[in-house]
Copies of this chain bind each other. A is one copy, B any other.
Amino acid sequence: MAATPVKFEQLGLIGCGLMGGSFALALKKAGLVKRVVGYSKSPSTTERARQMGVIDIEAPSALLAVSGADLVLLAVPVSATEATFKAIRHLLSKDTLVMDVGSTKREVIDAARRVLKDQVGVFVPAHPIAGKEQAGVEHADAELYHGRQVILTPIERTDAPQVDKATQLWTALGCHVQVMSPESHDAAYAAVSHLPHMIAFALMNAITGQENGKQFLSLAGPGFRDFTRIAASDPSIWRDILTSNREELIAQSRQFQRALHAFEAAVASSDPDALEALIDKASQARSNWRMNAHKPQS
């Protein structure tokens, strides 16, 4: 989009795990940042990130990571957002671009409003649709975000130039940027991400809770492998995501259970035509789906 992508002097990275570490590596690879100052709650993570070249300088606190930064990324669990904003707010200038990478947006934005108050305009809530089951800086990857969608959910008080800067930055990293409201974001990802995770977790627990669960698992094949891949996701991160989007998630879970009951009814009544029609609808929808299709919005 931008002919000359924005460049930054210093990234203040708070949270040097998979998401934050991959962002730092991608920025460096694209030549968009001169130095990265990083902070993680666990000093050993921060040290590891520096040893790996993910960050250049270890900061002893979140506040010091932000000192002198013209770009700040919060890559912490959603529940740590408010405390992080509190820790850094005194060193945020109005020219600093602040973003997060959280999978839910309303709680993050509420925290930003409460803590940043008049400064909330610097914050551009962001959600890159990328990840791995393996958390930790060891799995950080400069290509994690490449070709992925990034959703920005600015509010009315978000500074428009900050949204432009954020758009240019993610675009320069090879991402497809979409802007939408936090409410639309949270509803959509309840359906296509948070609920599938909760279902995958529940299926694993349903199986392992049975007497023959171990034997069942030993017999599972490639369909099961792909279906349950997301069940291996990080517990503390997903605890936060599911909790912070609880209303939309429960609403989507109810919709899903209604659809599941329709299948059960067709199976139980041995109505092959009704069952085939239900499967056909699902199969066609999935066959026609393409990731990142980016159809023009109507």
Contact = CB atoms under 8 A, between A and B. Distances in A.
Interface string A260-277: 101110011010100110
A195 interface: yes
A-side interface mostly = helix
Most B-side CB within 10 Å, residue of A79, A221, A287 = A221
Contacts of A234: 283
A212 B192 CA distance: 12
Contacts of A87: none
Interface in A32-76: none
A113 B259 CA distance: 36
Interface of A: 79, 129-131, 133, 148-149, 151, 178, 184, 187-189, 191-193, 195-210, 212-213, 215-236, 238-240, 242-243, 246, 249-250, 252-253, 255-260, 262-264, 267-268, 270, 272, 275-276, 278-283, 285-287, 289, 291, 293-295, 297
Query: 8 nearest interchain CB pairs?
Result: A129-B221, A192-B220, A201-B282, A204-B282, A206-B259, A231-B286, A202-B259, A232-B286
